[in-house]
Structure 1
Amino acid sequence: MELSLLSLFMLGVVALTQTRAGSHSMRYFHTAMSRPELGDSQFITVGYVDDQQFVRFDSSSESQRMEPRAAWMDKMDEEEPNYWEEQTQIYRKNAQIYRRNLETLRGYYNQSQGGLHTIQRMIGCEVSAEGSLRKGFYQFAYDGHDYIALHTETLSWTAADTGAENTKRKWEPEKSIAESYKAYLEKECTHWLKKYLVMGKDVLLRTDPPSARVTRHRGPDGEVSLRCRAHGFYPAEISLMWLRDGEEQLQDTEFIETRPGGDGTFQKWAAVAMAPGQEDRYSCRVQHEALAQPLSLRWEPEASSLWVIVGVTAGVLVLVTAVVAGAVILRRRNSGGKGGAYVPAADKDSAQGSDVSLTATGEAPGALELEGG
């Protein structure tokens, strides 16, 4: 598989920033964890539209209900009166299915009773600025390793190891399983993503320009580095590039991944090392969709107010652009043990007991038992 689900779940929101500007995504992350000390398991689901978490379910919570995680989801009672009750019932059932799937996968990998194990699933879609489907995602992991994924073009399953082959042998002959998920990704997922974008447009379609500055740092051995830091921007996709004498400088450059700022915006920095006295040869270029043009920043020893000046300037540039163009810039962006996951079962008995249709409220076709064929 191209991207490890472990990375997706560890990075959370950050993993959702890898899409092109103008596109939008909706993804659900499901995690089931065994709790041997309690003789039980915990099941958690979080849903994201772009970088914003909008729903959450936790089987260990007092209410065991699907709950809103974005203010704009409070409108859902008016849009879909039965939404929250339907989602709650769906995920309570899924929690039971995942509990059984943990036992199934423990058997696949000859793991002894007890021990901490996890099943993870990521499902979702990404649409272009025009609203057409760009790609769909349907992947599973077990104990932090890839397990199995759906290839929507060929309606085939990619198994990561011999354990996952058990599931592949069960699902692949039953073409209706892959077909139902493909149909969900192409129709239901995109439909609900567009609906959520309309409901949360004030948050999801906004653009906040970055404030940025360059600082100088000296290491214990006298080495010098310049750090270019941007913060307060939305959406999360941004480019920071160091240039030396106008040429892109990748060597001796250190980047950190874009990170949530804690207030609904994001932050990022890039640092470059150099010999002392060379600082004036370097500039940092900052590109973001909320900027009318890239920012070019240099280290200025006495410019203590640069942070504020750059932020104000960026805001003015965006305002001027909006007035001249008469349009709002739309935003976007995308995402131990062996592999394992929960998925649709093909046998008649298990399908009868656990095929929960979720398409009415934007989730995928039902969670089925993970049994080998």
Structure 2
Amino acid sequence: MVPVLLSLPLLLGPAVFQETGSYSLTFLYTGLSRPSKGFPRFQATAFLNDQAFFHYNSNSGKAVPVGPRGPVEGMEDWEKESQLQRAREEIFLTTLKDIMDYYKDSTDGMFGCEITNNRSSGAVWRYAYDGEDFIEFNKEIPAWIPLDPAAANTKLKWEAEKVYVQRAKAYLEEECPEMLKRYLNYSRSYLDRTDPPTMIITSRRAPGRNRIFRCLAYDFYPQRISLHWNRASKKPASEPERGVFPNGNGTYLSWVDVEVPPQNSDPFLCLVEHKGLSQSLSVQWDETRKVKAENNVAARPQ
């Protein structure tokens, strides 16, 4: 049998915390039908909102906090977390075996289970196969709903064994909300924090080519940010796509570039909006520091 990857992200949020903000609890589970030597059969990573706070694998059998600080700093009962994940490991690998019994000819597979709880859609537990939605659980019926014709047989098997329905319903309605409440005793202030961005403007130009200005924002939280280049005349300048990326310390970084022809002498402004700022910030390239800036020294906010 070819080793098969089964990955289950379990997501809960915003749950009962609408008055103070939205919070999510996410577990990313990965299992292998026949792991190679040195690779664990089962791994788990847990997230509160977008912040990882522990890892677990079947080789060690222990849940270990991520980093010296994090969303659950001060939580000490890691043996309880380890016991819970060992139970999850058993359930997960049983699910993997059920899927492999049906897909004997599959060379690889990916399955996902997402749980979310909000005012519009309620809680959802979903599996995906090869990146496509496969089957999900509706706790109001309660029943498994095929999202692909091939999932009809899986629905019949799981509903014939009523434990699959009972387990999913209990998780959605009881276990996951209680876990999220317990974690929030440690994490609410961490998740509600706002860290404003630190700004740097750099410039580079190859001989005979246009100059490229980069506006870089880093060490900010939460993740959402707006960065735009404008001319001083308020006409928007062109800019390429950019993204928002983890910074490795629980914060994020992002940047936006603009390409300027040598003959263009208009001042360019980088406009920044973020929850950690009391108002929009305008950062301008300082021509008086041209030489240092060409060597990637930070420009100062104006």
TM-score (norm 1): 0.59
Tell me, what secondary structure is at the counterpart of 1:75?
coil
1:75 maps to which residue?
75
> Which 5+ residue runs of structure 1 have no aligned equivalent?
1-5, 10-15, 314-373
**CA distance 1:210–1:28, shift in 2 (3 Å):** same
2:134 to 133, 147, 157: 147
Distance 2:200 2:194 in 1: 20
| Counterpart code for 2:246 | P
**CA distance 1:308–1:228, shift in 2 (3 Å):** closer
| Counterpart code for 2:248 | G
User: Which has more helix, going by share of residues?
Assistant: 1
1:208 to 190, 195, 207: 195
Distance 2:25 2:100 in 1: 30
Distance 2:143 2:271 in 1: 43
Pairwise CA distance, 1:233 = 0.8
Distance 1:139 1:248 in 2: 43
Pairwise CA distance, 1:292 = 0.5
Query: Does the CA-based 8 Å contact 2:201-2:299 persist in structure 1?
Result: no
Query: Does the CA-based 8 Å contact 1:34-1:41 persist in structure 2?
Result: no
1:123 maps to which residue?
114
| Counterpart code for 1:30 | Y
Query: Does the CA-based 8 Å contact 1:43-1:98 persist in structure 2?
Result: no
**CA distance 1:256–1:33, shift in 2 (3 Å):** farther
2:205 maps to which residue?
218
1:24 aligns with 2:23: yes
1:246 maps to which residue?
234
1:93 aligns with 2:63: no
Distance 1:243 1:172 in 2: 59
Tell me, what secondary structure is at the counterpart of 2:112?
strand
TM-score (norm 2): 0.71
2:275 maps to which residue?
289
Distance 1:48 1:236 in 2: 15
| Counterpart code for 1:97 | T
Pairwise CA distance, 1:211 = 0.5
Pairwise CA distance, 1:46 = 1.0
> Which 5+ residue runs of structure 2 have no aligned equivalent?
1-5, 14-19
Query: Does the CA-based 8 Å contact 1:241-1:270 persist in structure 2?
Result: yes
1:9-88, aligned counterparts within 5 Å? 22-35=21-34, 42-59=41-58, 61=59, 63-69=60-66, 71=69, 72=72, 74-77=74-77, 83-88=80-85
**CA distance 1:175–1:101, shift in 2 (3 Å):** closer
**CA distance 1:88–1:289, shift in 2 (3 Å):** same
Distance 2:162 2:257 in 1: 50
Query: Does the CA-based 8 Å contact 1:57-1:64 persist in structure 2?
Result: yes
**CA distance 1:215–1:22, shift in 2 (3 Å):** farther
Identity of aligned residues (%): 30
* Alignment: residue pair count: 279
Moved more, 41-50 or 165-174: 165-174
1:317 maps to which residue?
none
Pairwise CA distance, 1:230 = 0.4
Pairwise CA distance, 1:219 = 5.5
Query: Does the CA-based 8 Å contact 2:202-2:297 persist in structure 1?
Result: no
Distance 1:36 1:259 in 2: 31
**CA distance 1:184–1:56, shift in 2 (3 Å):** same
